[in-house]
Structure 1
């Protein structure tokens, strides 16, 4: 049986973050579902063959399992996106006010990478290293 991994994130203001992620990182809206109160109950954003799911942070059973990023302590998750347009993405992240936590640099294993935090503190990693391609 085939498996697909889709990172899930919760944000204090999912609507604003959907716009930011699309404008800055090049995601596209696949689906956005609102609750009766106007909150984002569930959204799916795609970039290439990858997808993330996100919604507004809320006090429910799933929300109890996830703590919003505080900037303190270890990060338990952070998406890594394989990209070809790394320089453009790095410049876009800087221009959009992302906090660059690892500057754009060449790695010893042949990748060019950087890491940043979005406006709500979620950690994102970008690089040219693609583990699915062999012999590179």
Structure 2
């Protein structure tokens, strides 16, 4: 018996940003996300959904006092830029994505390179220090098919 819901994506990373409105624009410009839904009052984003293909991230304002969830999350700058998890995003052209992110000011943490397990990818930080991995390796595909 599977506990997974019959939906497009069963795991959706959630992030908090100090300036969520600016982060939404930046994530769309730098990484190619698209706005799916944004629920905000002024500068406070209570909940936003950004899509990338059939994937999605959800985000909100770090200082959203109405959110119990926000009180459980710390920002990378508050903990020496360390993280316990990061989104991994599959892209069709890792080099083109790298160029786009770098031009938008993403801090490259691991330079783009071919990976020993297949594909090509890189790691970067967004405008508030969240760590991301972007690459062409698709773990859903049969490695013998490439």
TM-score between both structures, scaled by the size of structure 1: 0.92
Whether the 8 Å CA contact 2:87–2:131 is kept in 1: the answer is: yes
For 1:66, which of 58, 73, 77 is the aligned residue? 73
Unaligned runs of 5+ in 2: none
What is the CA RMSD across the aligned residues, in angstroms? 1.5
Unaligned runs of 5+ in 1: none
Please state whether the residue corresponding to 1:41 is helix, strand or coil: strand
Q: Residue 107 of structure 1: CA displacement?
A: 1.0
TM alignment of 1:1-136, pairs within 5 A: 1-3=3-5, 4-35=10-41, 37-58=42-63, 59=65, 60-70=67-77, 72=80, 74-134=82-142, 135=144, 136=146
Partners of 2:132 and 2:84 in 1: how far apart? 12
Please state whether the residue corresponding to 1:53 is helix, strand or coil: strand
Whether the 8 Å CA contact 2:36–2:51 is kept in 1: the answer is: yes
Q: Residue 122 of structure 1: CA displacement?
A: 0.4
Please state whether the residue corresponding to 2:76 is helix, strand or coil: coil
Q: How many equivalent residue pairs?
A: 135
Please state whether the residue corresponding to 1:110 is helix, strand or coil: coil
TM-score between both structures, scaled by the size of structure 2: 0.86
The runs of at least 4 aligned residues of structure 1 exceeding 3 Å deviation read: none
Partners of 1:11 and 1:104 in 2: how far apart? 26
